[in-house]
Amino acid sequence: MLDASDEGYVTEDGRRIGGVLMEMKNITLRFGGVKAITDISFDIREGEIRAIIGPNGAGKSSMLNVISGFYVPQEGEVWYKGAKRPPMKPYQVAQLGIARTFQNIALFEGMTVLDNVMTGRLNYMKTNMFQQALWKGKAEAEEVENREFVEKIIDFLEIQSIRKTPVARLPYGLKKRVELARALAAEPSLLLLDEPMAGMNVEEKEDMSRFILDVNDEFGTTIALIEHDMGVVMDLSDRVVVMDYGKKIGDGTPDDIRSNQAVIDAYLGVAHD
Amino acid sequence: MFRAQGGTDLAQSSQAAGGHESIPALLLRNAAEFGDKPAYREKEFGIWQCWTWKEAEQEIRKLALGLINLGVNEGDFIAIIGNNRPYLYWSMVAAQWVGATPVPLYQDSAAEEMAYVLDHCGARFVIVEDQEQVDKVIEVQDRLHQFEHLIYLDPRGMRKYDHSHLHEYAHVQEQGHAARDEFTPELEKRGQKLDYASTCVMLYTSGTTGKPKGVVLSNRNIIETAKSSAEFDHLGPGEEILAYLPMAWVGDFIFSIGQAYWTGFCVNCPESPETVAADLREIGPTYYFAPPRVFETQLTSVMIRMEDAGKLKKRLFDIFMAHARRVGPAILDGKPVGGWDRFKYWLGDLFIYGPLKNTLGFSKVRVGYTAGEAIGPEIFDFYRSLGINLKQLYGQTEASVFITVQPDGEVRSDTVGVPAPGVELKIADSGEVFYRSPGVFEFYYKNEESTKSTKDAEGWVATGDAGFIEHDTGHLRIIDRAKDVGKMADGSLFAPKYVENKLKFYPNILEAVVFGNNRDRCMAFINIDLSAVGNWAERNNIAYSSYQELAGHPKVYEMIQSHVEEVNASVAEDEMLSGCQVHRFLILHKELDADDGEMTRTRKVRRGIIAEKFDDLIEALYSGKTEQYTETEVTYEDGRKGSIKATLEIRDAKTVPVTTQKVAAE
């Protein structure tokens, strides 16, 4: 099954997983005296769905923020595409091809779904503000080209019917989908999803799971996600990192994790005799 | 007389088109005569993609060759499942071209229901839209003895499937095109064999009772019907229609294939089922069809939004709508109307009717039809008063749709019109309506017994509906399903649908089921309309968290009770049916649903199943209890089952004593 060599491995359902895309080496993150993450190492391979799970306050979101470059860890190194990544501003990280969604949806509420998704194409727009204001020649061609790509995403995520609806009017589940659309519009090589199923009902969760799998399958996008819902995680991901109190307590395939005693203890609690 | 602007005068050329005795023949004619005119449009990636008749012919040809390549034989059945998309319409024509019979299925059927139809017709090939439908077919494939190949349109999510029996639509076309030299002679040969007598399509009836039946319709049925109905409404090649109703329904087949191929008009497919309203507005169809439910929903949403509009807008709307109700229908029918009224109507059109029609997508509608169920007079008049030529027709699958239609200028909400061209009508002693026409179906597939009991040797077909022909106008009026018309305990007539329709005309009531056959009094189940009642609740500060809670709210009960009592008063006025007043009623805790078998896929209530399923509630209604605890099994969309528990309140409704009514009348 899991082959540690750098050529990657082939999953049970025949997907080819490539070499290491991102590697976290001995990451430690502190807020003042509080250690949010203690000495954690793991890697994310090209084309895989990698989940980070753990109980409340385990440090999952902090970990995702380290990956996305939002937090700079005090110790440890982040390696991306074979090179050590220096501390960066979030926009620079985006230019590297890393896109994300947020636990508490961060969309432009007053703008339409279409405009929100178009913002995801920012890094592909070369014309400046004045050219765009005139909307002639190059700017127009550029917009048409990017709109075409955005329409494909809209079609893919089945949000055609809300294309022109202001985001503020949408229900929660759809907003989450719009956020995913915006992240996908950036054509990321690494997609980070912060609790994509939080607050959803069963049907919305099923839809979202299907979209995540389809994105991975269709575009070959590498996905790292944080999730609460164990069932969903086990069905979706290729490999899982389990965190508890800022420490890594497990790392492996869903089957490994299911039988890992430390994980069971963390989730179900241990009786103290 | 209506003619398309510019280009070929098709109506005339089709008169002379005696040799075109099949849909593929008509396709070739259209491609030759006006190949550059749009035949299909579909909105995809936010843009209307267009195919001309010439392009459509090429696409269909490629697919037909691909089907031969896959081994389709003459006489095979090819099932087609999916939303309205040009590619699936092409599948039907390609199937006909290679001598096979297309069998469109309802795309929202559960796998179980599909299994029955697929097995019954013995489809060797199934063409589906996407992964969802592929999964359903794969789920039941072990039970389908003749099933061999599955062709899917949308490759998304399909990569990991075992492709030994799975083919992508585009690949089938490519392979067919690549082998064109080899298979074209075979295709030509098969195409030439098609004539009026050969089968055009097999459609399964929705089955209000029992298992669905496969209605076999010949090319004669479809083409003759398309021809005479197109002439009746002067349809030409310039028409635009929006194909959004299920492809498995005979109406869609007649409009989107029969009439479209006969006259050569353009069929537009919506982007997705959720975008129909927006797509309708963009296309602005000239010829439109919708069941009453669609018009009801639309009117409800207009009214709800007007409630929320500003004072000035609301006032303008009220004034001009009142005026439109008074003179609009007369103006539409070309009857004499005074100059001042005309001027005021013109103003209203400028400010209210025009913009409203534009919003609804009805600006260009020249002919609109509604059928399938009775439509509420208020709903009907609303649209007609706006200047939309909405008419009623009465038909069924077995007749290739048309039995009666309303001619322009003779439109009323309480009749279904005069016999369509070529249709003969007679009423049996029992009150049941019989008809005979060129559109009458050939037979029920593998069901000789039903064929015999429905169609007699002279070609007369029993509709199963009870009705009568008005003496002075010649219009047909339908009372109810013949088998539903019963007797009350005292021998008076019991026509549940008549009362249910009156109830359903209230926007707050989505469905009603009335019981009373062989009983002394009538009782009713009511389903509230969540969007209408929900909005009402919002405006009246009534909090609710679920359908069930809203349905059981005392205020809602009060409102529904007043509706029931108004209906009782109106029913009491009809001497024959005054016994059908509703004495007691309850509001159901769940919506009646096709997934639970309570309705057909075309949303007609299945009385027998409902009576069986909720027998405890019926018992409680008749026993005089004021509430009843019940548990109901429900099926979710993904096929899982669950149950809903509820204690339902039962209320008495005031009835109008029949005897005093008579006294008052005298």
Listed in sequence order, the residues at least 6 apart from B115 whose beta carbon sits closer than 8 Å to its beta carbon are: B140, B143, B144
Would you say residue A105 lies in a domain?
Answer: no
Is residue A4 pLDDT above 90, yes or no?
Answer: no
How high is the pLDDT of residue A1?
A: 38
Position A228 in a domain: yes
User: CA-CA distance, B496 to B582, in Å (whole number)?
Assistant: 10
Q: Is A160 within 8 Å of B159 when comparing Cβ atoms?
A: no
Strands of B206-286 (E only): list them: 214-218, 240-242, 266-269
**Single-letter code of the amino acid located at B555:** K
B13-22, B95-104, B529-538 — which one is most confidently predicted on average?
B95-104
> Can you spell out the DSSP letters for B19-51?
T--SHHHHHHHHHHHSTTSEEEEEEETTEEEEE
* pLDDT given for residue B17 in this prediction: 44
Which residue of chain A is at minimal alpha-carbon distance from B271? Answer: A160
Degrees, nearest 5: CA angle B320-B324-B325: 120
Q: What angle do CA A45, A50, A55 make, to 5 degrees?
A: 145
Residue B409 has pLDDT above 90, yes or no: no
**Does A224 share its domain with A195?**
yes
**Domain match, A168 and A233 both:** no
User: What pLDDT was estimated at residue B666?
Assistant: 33
Helix (H) or strand (E) holding B336: none
Q: Are residues A182 and A192 in the same domain?
A: no
Packing angle, helices B292-307 and B377-385, rounded to 10? 70
User: Which tens digit of pLDDT belongs to each residue from B304-337?
Assistant: 888 888 999 999 999 999 999 999 989 998 888 8
Per-residue confidence (pLDDT) for residue A272, from 0 to 100: 58
Contact B476, B463 (CB under 8 A): no
- B47·A151 Cβ contact <8 A: yes
Share of chain B above pLDDT 90, in %: 62
Is B275 in contact with A161 (Cβ distance < 8 A)?
yes
Q: Going by CATH, does the domain composed of B486-665 fall within 3.10.180.10?
A: no
Q: For B425-481, what is each residue's pLDDT tens digit?
A: 999 887 889 999 999 999 999 988 889 989 999 999 999 888 888 888 899 988 888
Topology match between the domains B43-287 and B292-481: yes
Instruction: Locate the chain B residue with the closest alpha carbon to A163.
Output: B46
The tens digit of pLDDT for each residue in A234-270 reads 889 999 999 988 899 999 999 898 888 888 887 777 6
Q: Looking at the domain assignment, is residue A221 inside a domain? A: yes
Q: Which residues of A touch B44 (CB under 8 A)?
A: 155
A120 and A244 part of one domain: no
Domain hosting residue A138, numbered range: 111-186
CB under 8 Å to A84, separation ≥6 — which residues?
Answer: A77, A78
- B158: Cβ–Cβ under 8 A, 6 or more apart, which residues? B131, B134, B152, B166, B168
Is A175 part of any domain?
yes
Task: Give me the DSSP letters along A157-169.
Answer: TT-GGGTTSBGGG
Is the predicted pLDDT of residue B542 greater than 70, yes or no?
Answer: yes
Domain shared by A5 and A87, yes or no: yes
Contact of B169 with B127, CB cutoff 8 Å:
yes
Q: What is the pLDDT of residue B211?
A: 83
Query: Is residue A273 over pLDDT 60?
Result: no
Whether A210 sits inside 8 A of B637 (CB atoms) is no
| Widest distance between CA atoms in chain B | 84
Q: Which of A161, A186, A211 is where one domain is finished?
A: A186
**What tens digit of pLDDT does each residue of A182-197 get?**
999 999 999 999 999 8
pLDDT of residue A2 exceeding 50, the answer is no
Summarised one tens digit per residue, pLDDT across range B269-313 is: 999 999 999 999 999 999 999 988 889 888 888 988 888 889 999
The alpha-carbon radius of gyration of chain A (Å, integer) is: 19
CATH of the domain at A243: 3.40.50.300
Using alpha carbons, select from B626, B601, B514, B606 the residue that is nearest to residue B564: B514
| Nearest chain B CA: its distance from A55 CA (Å) | 30
Selection from A13-17, B392-396, B500-504, B603-607 with the highest mean pLDDT: B392-396
B577 confidence band (pLDDT: 50, 70, 90): confident
Q: Do B160 and A13 touch (CB under 8 A)?
A: yes
Is the Cβ pair B156, A158 closer than 8 Å?
A: no
Residues of A in contact with B638 (CB under 8 A): 206
Q: How many domains does chain A have?
A: 2
Residue in A14, A163, A217 nearest the CB of B46: A163
Average pLDDT of chain B? 89
Q: What angle do CA A11, A16, A21 make, to 5 degrees?
A: 105
**Chain B interface disruption, residue of A112, A160, A205, A211, most B CBs within 10 A:** A160
- Coil, strand or helix at B418: strand
Please give the CATH architecture assigned to the domain spanning B43-287.
Answer: 3-Layer(aba) Sandwich (3.40)
As given in the structure block, the two tokens for residue B2 are 């209506």
- Greatest mean pLDDT range, A3-17, A78-92, B265-279, B503-517: B265-279
Residues A92 and A1 in one domain: yes
Decide if A106 is inside a domain. Answer: no
pLDDT range class, residue B236, cuts 50, 70, 90? very high
pLDDT of residue B234: 94
Which residues is A28 bridged to in the sheet?
A75
Nearest CB to B160; choose among A14, A155, A163 = A14
Inter-chain touch B156–A214, beta carbons under 8 Å: yes
Would you say residue A260 lies in a domain?
A: yes
Provide, as residue numbers in chain A, all residues whose Cβ is less than 8 Å from the Cβ of B46: 147, 151, 154, 160, 163
Cα B656 to Cα B661: distance, rounded to the nearest angstrom: 7
Which of B469, B256, B287, B293 has its CA nearest to residue B391? B287
- Chain B partners within 8 Å of A154 (Cβ): 45-46
Mean pLDDT calculated for residue range B42-57: 95
Does residue A129 share a domain with residue A251?
no
State what percent of residues in chain B have pLDDT above 70: 95
Across the range B70-83, mean pLDDT stands at 96
State whether B44 and A210 contact (CB < 8 Å): no
Looking at residue B42, its pLDDT comes to 96
Position B504 confidence tier, pLDDT thresholds 50, 70, 90: confident
pTM for this one?
0.82
Q: Please calculate the CA angle B619-B623-B629 and round it to the nearest 5 degrees.
A: 55
Which among A186, A208, A242 is the end of a domain? A186
Contact call for residues B600 and B594 (beta carbons, < 8 A): yes
Is residue A102 assigned to a domain?
Answer: no
Contact B272 A161 (CB under 8 A): yes
| CA separation for the pair A143, A137 (Å, rounded) | 10
Q: Are A63 and A168 contained in the same domain?
A: no
- Among residues A138, A164, A186, the one where a domain terminates is A186
CATH code 3.40.50.2000 for B292-481: no
Residues whose CB falls within 8 Å of the CB of residue B192, separated by 6 or more in sequence, listed in order = none
CA distance A107 to B51: 38
* Strand ranges inside B214-373, DSSP E: 214-218, 240-242, 266-269, 287-289, 367-370
Q: Tell me, what DSSP letter sits at residue A95?
A: H
Asked whether the beta carbons of residue A160 and residue B638 sit closer than 8 angstroms, the reply is: no
Do A179 and A132 fall into the same domain? yes
Q: Which residues of A touch B271 (CB under 8 A)?
A: 160-161
**Measured between alpha carbons, how far is A273 from A256 in angstroms, rounded to an integer?**
27
Q: Which of A27-31, B242-246, B590-594 has the lowest mean pLDDT?
A: B590-594
Task: pLDDT band for A271, please (50, 70, 90 cuts).
Answer: low
Q: How far does A216 lie from chain B, in Å, by closest CA?
A: 10
Residue B488 has pLDDT above 90, yes or no: no
Of A15, A148, A160, the CB nearest to B271: A160
Residue closest to B577 by CA, chosen among B443, B480, B453: B480
Q: Which tens digits make up the pLDDT trace of B194-230?
A: 999 999 999 998 765 678 899 999 999 999 999 999 9
- Provide the β-strand partners of residue B43: B48
Q: Does residue A219 sit in the same domain as residue A93?
A: yes
pLDDT for the residue numbered B498: 83
Answer for the pair B133, B150: CB distance below 8 angstroms, yes or no: no
In B, minimum Cα distance to A151 occurs at: B45
Q: Which tens digit of pLDDT belongs to each residue from A93-147? A: 888 999 999 888 889 999 999 999 999 998 888 888 888 888 888 888 899 999 9
B47 touches chain A (CB under 8 A): yes
Q: What are phi and psi of A252, to 5 degrees?
A: 165, -165
Q: Give B156's contacts in chain A (Cβ within 8 Å).
A: 156, 214, 218
- In total, the C-beta contacts within 8 angstroms joining chain A to chain B are 38
Classify residue A226: in a domain, yes or no.
yes
Are A8 and A83 in the same domain? yes
pLDDT digits (tens, 9 = 90+) for B352-361: 999 999 999 9
Amino acid B22: pLDDT: 95
Which residue in chain A has the smallest CA separation from B44? Answer: A155
Residue A34: what pLDDT? 87
CA distance A203 to chain B (A): 9
All structural domains of chain B with their residue ranges: 43-287, 292-481, 486-665
Pair A137, A195 in one domain? no
pLDDT at A3: 42
Nearest to A151 among B45, B156, B278 (CB): B45
